[in-house]
Homo-oligomer: A and B are copies of this chain.
Amino acid sequence: LVNIVERKQEGRNPFYRVVDLDDTTSDPAVWGKNFPMQYDGYMRTVDQTRTRFGGSEAVPRTPTAADPRSVVAQSKLEEDPRLKTIWAGYAFARDFREERGHAHMLDDQTYTERQIAAKQPGTCMHCHASVYVPYMKLGDGDLIRGFEKMNAMPYAEARKLVEHPVACIDCHDPETMQLRVTRPGFLEGIRALKASQGVADYDVNRMATRQEMRAFVCGQCHVEYYFKGPEKRLVYPWAKGLVVDSILAYYDESGHKDWVHAATGAEVLKAQHPEFEMWNQGIHARSGVTCADCHMPYARVGGLKISDHHVQSPMLNLNRACQTCHNWPETELAARVEIIQGRHFELRNRAMDAVVALIQDLEAARAAGRTDADLAAARALQRRGQFLLDFVEAENSSGFHAPQEAARILGASIDLSRQGQLALRD
């Protein structure tokens, strides 16, 4: 009986505002006082469970002074050593792990051996910490100024200015709780994209629909990016479009390279987690189905429906994530995802064999003393073939977000890598 009564209470007045929140409240625990159910979910992102292709495995390790983490996620380099060949000469060849829940983002970035392999800039912080308040402070109220200042710092220095992983304030307006974009990278990236589509000075926080915001808040970080120029500005390469071909064209025009491949001397690119870009090519995006729909589905808590803030693999939550729209049994839903991912994985392995073969051929040709002129064509093809593969490989849904598009990209990648091998022989 008590139960019913308090449920009705909640119904009428879902959230008791016990504390006042303002634009400087970065501690999620404080927000949690007003929104305990969302806070509980948010805190559960520490969990680690493995799915067939996603989630993450909790791998115990003995903490050291340099890296106090007692648990990490499995190493992808060990799962597939071909990655070391592809990334030879780049920090990723030193340490690259399966990603895990939001709660770990700050630690995982701070302690990855990639920090040892190379000096990293303060720019990194943009997507691994609650930087909204720190940016505002640094820029004396000017978000972009603060962003630019932190980009220019060495990582260690910037690290001192932040405290939390992504927090409530990074996605919500403290007054209305409405979604908002706080990341300069996305604000500028989406503006460039819209401009290319003929929409002048697009302001996402004024012009986006609520539905779009349910994906844009994730697009703040789950995107391909690069550091532009000596000032290490974070840029999302969308000025020509979101399709991988447009992104590659953008890099080629600006002559950007992430590093020179240690084995082949090719000027290559590294792609990172383009979930937002790939999702955009899929049928779900086309149908207005957003990240939040699947990764933060509504959950009934007591007499209320709330967004599950335990952001995780939908494979661990099929009932809520999928079944409202797809009335298939959970086992069937899981099977559908895994059939897509299985096909994807097969083609991804073909593409990886192809680019590794090209790299080995280039290495041999180089050892045999062939001139840069001789190798130019093959190197250009490695750059393109490898980027296409890496783009799909770095995308974390194992093909699910856009199955046909991912396969198209892999098919093109295979073609380019094999043509590279042919170029060395003709």
Contact = CB atoms under 8 A, between A and B. Distances in A.
A46 interface: no
B419 A283 contact: no
Interface string A398-426: 01000111011011101100110110011
Nearest to A357: B422
A350 B412 contact: yes
Contacts of A425: 422, 425-426
A336 interface: yes
Interface centre among A347, A407, A425 (most CB of B within 10 A): A407
Given A283-B336, A336-B283, A418 B414 contact: yes
Given A419-B418, A421-B422, A411 B286 contact: no
Given A404-B404, A407-B408, A415 B340 contact: no
Contacts of A370: none
Interface residues of A, number: 31
A412 B410 CA distance: 10
A368 to B, nearest CB: 15
A343 interface: yes
Contacts of A407: 347, 404, 407-408, 411
B422 A346 contact: no
A416 B263 CA distance: 26
B336 A405 contact: no
A354 interface: yes
A403 B411 CA distance: 13
A403 B408 CA distance: 10
A408 B347 contact: yes
Contacts of A410: 411
Contacts of A347: 407-408, 411-412
Contacts of A405: 343
A425 B403 CA distance: 34
Contacts of A286: 336, 339
Interface in A341-387: 343-344, 346-347, 350-351, 354
Given A283-B336, A422-B425, A354 B404 contact: no
Interface centre among A336, A350, A411, A425 (most CB of B within 10 A): A411
24 contacts: A283-B336, A343-B404, A343-B405, A344-B404, A346-B408, A347-B407, A347-B411, A347-B412, A350-B411, A350-B415, A399-B404, A404-B404, A404-B407, A410-B411, A411-B411, A414-B415, A414-B418, A415-B418, A418-B419, A418-B421, A418-B422, A421-B422, A422-B425, A425-B426
Given A407-B411, A414-B418, A425-B425, 12 more contacts: A287-B328, A343-B408, A350-B415, A351-B411, A404-B407, A407-B408, A414-B414, A414-B415, A415-B418, A421-B422, A422-B422, A425-B426
